[in-house]
Structure 1
Amino acid sequence: MSSTLLKMGALSWFAISQNHQYWRLISCLSLHVGLIHLFVNIVCLLFVGIKLEQKFGSGKLGSIFFLSGLGGSIFGELFLEHRISAGASIPLFGLLGAMLSDLITNFTVYNLKCASFTVVVLLCMVNLTIGIFPDNDNFSHFWGFIFGLLLGFVLLMEPQYGWGSKIIPPDRNPQVVSKYNGYQHVLWVGAVILLIVGYIVGIILIARGIDGSSHCTWCHYLSCIPSPWWKCDAEQQKSGQASCTYVMSGGYMFMRCLNNQRTQLYNGLFSISSLKVLCGRLCK
């Protein structure tokens, strides 16, 4: 599964930071791990995407979908280390973040507040649960949600007090009533600044080949929680058996031994048996 996803354009720290395949930051947004992943994403789009599109239009929805997905894949790539990730859920977390920002900024004119908030929480919990399975990345999901939240503050702001309608309170003069509340202006300005800084910093870190996982020893637990059904890297290292991960791209193979963290770059094509031999030598 991992090698197939890699060929189709999945996120990979080595492929992007070392081979400069930056197109993967976008191509990964269309990849699913399996039928369950695909089904949950479809449900998410039905409950959140359609609602936001009907309210704000396809232009704003498409912008949030793409830009939040890009932001999530940028910061997710920094913490992938030797893993790969299919990122179709990243922009969906962006839509969930945008829906939450809609609830916050347009609270006074929003209908069914509790129901909408409950939908956001439930869908986030389901997608985060799927994120602990192989070839998913909850770190990317988290940042996709953050970028979607900020983009929602910028693009989904609605006038308050029923501006331009008969809902304006009778004690207020329509000539002096502001279209937006003060907190809306603060959120808009703050979100614009954070978005600009976030994209710039993320791109610079990728260009420099920074490996964020080396500076965060606990981040891998966001994407892999030990269980009886699968093993995380830490468990594989404790077992003492030779265990390696590898990424193939452009005729090269980057291999990492999980036991001693040694790495090696190879050139050529390798069979499964030869991969086991190389792994044993690298971990010896």
Structure 2
Amino acid sequence: MGRDPSPATLEVKIHPSRDDAAVHNGSRSSAPIPPRHSRRTSPAGSSSSSSNSSSSSATRSREFSLFKRWIPWLVPCFVVANVVLFLVTMYVNDCPKHLFRGSCVASFLGRFSFQPLKENPLLGPSSYTLEKMGALVVDKVIHGQAWRLLSCMWLHGGVVHVLANMLSLVFIGIRLEQEFGFVRIGFLYVISGFGGSLLSALFIQSGISVGASGALFGLLGGMLSEILINWTIYANKFAALLTLIVITLINLAVGILPHVDNFAHIGGFLSGFFLGFVFLIRPQFKWIVQRNSSSAPSSLKDRHKPYQYILWIISFLLLTCGYITGLIFLLRGVNMNDHCSWCHYLSCVPTRLWNCNPKRVYCETSQIGNRLNITCLSNGRSELVDVPDAGFPGPLQLCYQLCG
């Protein structure tokens, strides 16, 4: 759709993997989709008699049902999938087994208990577990694991994170699926999430990232472009447009806070905005009225207006070229910050209250037999731990815990 499970590890794709992980933050507000009001077909100045009124009412009732209403099932399935994957992640995390220092939060939950709040204040797993489950790690994407650009959008950094994102998905996604059906909204959601991950990976190349906020911002972007491309079927055009713009700006403004990756938001929103011109196009109003008229006209008006075709073509070309170019740059290891010195301000604006620089940790390790001594060089803390088995988190994760 904040995030920062630990000062040095997790973040919420809201993305800035400023430490070890990033987690997307879902949009805090959902934009209502204004009803599509059909124009009256009765001429101005018509009689206000009861018969005319009844006829006009019947006409409007028929016109309101010109667009098919779908029963939403895909968005609820997305919600269930995200929640189930979070539970699976917590099961794999198994805090009591792998925590070498300190105590787990809500230990009565057993292996579903959470990492210490210092490490993950969102009540969730460790960044090591998220990486193992498919979080976005740019270095691994470059070396052949491009599937992480999609898998990361189904993972979340904590209870707070998954609840915020899923509530946003319910409020925004269900209404859109009712209007446009599961196929179009499903593609819009997944491709927008991919676009958010792609832009984030091009600008934030350290740490890990998880979350669905890129896809959620894609739905917002799709709603905005849908108003523009279907301009003729809206009654309160400017009110609907202004509402969406204000809500989008508020959500994007949250992204300039520390530990919130606005690049995922921006990438998802831009993807959804252009996809809306492709997937959410409607026939113009007069064409629909004539097609459904009881007296069949000799010739129907064009199904779409010229500007709708133009926006469709431009958006498709921009999306195709943008995704191909972005993937080429990413797989070649290009860091876009080297070509844009001010772009990092889109994700975090430093103030007297916070610092946008990532916190770096350094540890010294030595191993004797099956015991590992780790010393955090920034605070001098050290710990002697057993190295149990292949499920051992590894020195890097232990260093983050020790220096947190």
Instruction: Give the alignment's TM-score, normalised by structure 2.
Output: 0.53
Aligned to 2:185: 61
- Distance in 2 of aligned mates of 1:33 and 1:89: 12
| Residue 97 (structure 1) aligned with residue 250 (structure 2) | no
Q: 1:199 to 1:271 in 2, by over 3 A?
A: closer
C-alpha contact 1:33 1:136 (8 A) present in aligned 2 = no
| Residue 26 (structure 1) aligned with residue 150 (structure 2) | yes
Shift of 1:94: 0.7
Aligned to 2:384: none
Picking from 136, 151, 154, the partner of 2:278 is 154
- Distance in 2 of aligned mates of 1:155 and 1:273: 46
Aligned to 2:230: 106
Q: How does 1:171-210 map to 2 (within 5 A)?
A: 175-210=299-334
Aligned to 1:224: 348
C-alpha contact 1:128 1:141 (8 A) present in aligned 2 = yes
Shift of 1:70: 1.1
- Distance in 2 of aligned mates of 1:34 and 1:57: 30
- Distance in 2 of aligned mates of 1:130 and 1:245: 30
Q: Secondary structure at the match of 1:216?
A: coil
Q: Secondary structure at the match of 1:210?
A: coil
Spell out, residue by residue over 1:230-283, the C-alpha distance to the aligned partner (whole angstroms, 9 max, x if none).
53217x6xxxxxx3599xxxxxxxxxxxxxxxxxxxxx9316676799x9xxxx
Report the AA paired with residue 98 of structure 1: G
Q: How does 1:124-273 map to 2 (within 5 A)?
A: 124-132=248-256, 136-166=260-290, 175-227=299-351, 230-233=354-357, 243-244=360-361, 269-270=394-395
C-alpha contact 1:68 1:147 (8 A) present in aligned 2 = yes
Q: Highest relative contact order (Cα 8 Å, sep 6+), 1 or 2? A: 2
| Residue 76 (structure 1) aligned with residue 187 (structure 2) | no
- Distance in 2 of aligned mates of 1:23 and 1:77: 13
C-alpha contact 2:225 2:276 (8 A) present in aligned 1 = yes
- Distance in 1 of aligned mates of 2:215 and 2:207: 20
- Distance in 1 of aligned mates of 2:177 and 2:159: 25
- Distance in 1 of aligned mates of 2:243 and 2:174: 13
Q: 1:174 to 1:112 in 2, by over 3 A?
A: farther
Shift of 1:101: 0.8
Q: 1:39 to 1:113 in 2, by over 3 A?
A: farther
Superposed CA RMSD in Å reads: 3.3
Report the AA paired with residue 134 of structure 2: G
Shift of 1:45: 2.2
Shift of 1:166: 4.8
Aligned to 2:39: none
Picking from 166, 182, 186, the partner of 1:42 is 166
Aligned to 1:9: 134
Shift of 1:103: 0.4
Spell out, residue by residue over 1:48-73, the C-alpha distance to the aligned partner (whole angstroms, 9 max, x if none).
21221111101100010011111221
Report the AA paired with residue 145 of structure 1: F
- Distance in 2 of aligned mates of 1:226 and 1:7: 32
Shift of 1:117: 3.2
Shift of 1:176: 4.6
Spell out, residue by residue over 1:79-102, the C-alpha distance to the aligned partner (whole angstroms, 9 max, x if none).
112243223100111111110011
Shift of 1:120: 2.7
C-alpha contact 1:37 1:130 (8 A) present in aligned 2 = no
Q: Secondary structure at the match of 2:287?
A: coil
Shift of 1:132: 4.3
| Residue 85 (structure 1) aligned with residue 194 (structure 2) | no
- Distance in 2 of aligned mates of 1:174 and 1:43: 49
Q: Secondary structure at the match of 2:266?
A: helix
Q: 1:124 to 1:35 in 2, by over 3 A?
A: farther
Shift of 1:205: 1.2
- Distance in 2 of aligned mates of 1:47 and 1:33: 21
- Distance in 1 of aligned mates of 2:251 and 2:181: 25
- Distance in 2 of aligned mates of 1:193 and 1:13: 26
Report the AA paired with residue 225 of structure 2: S
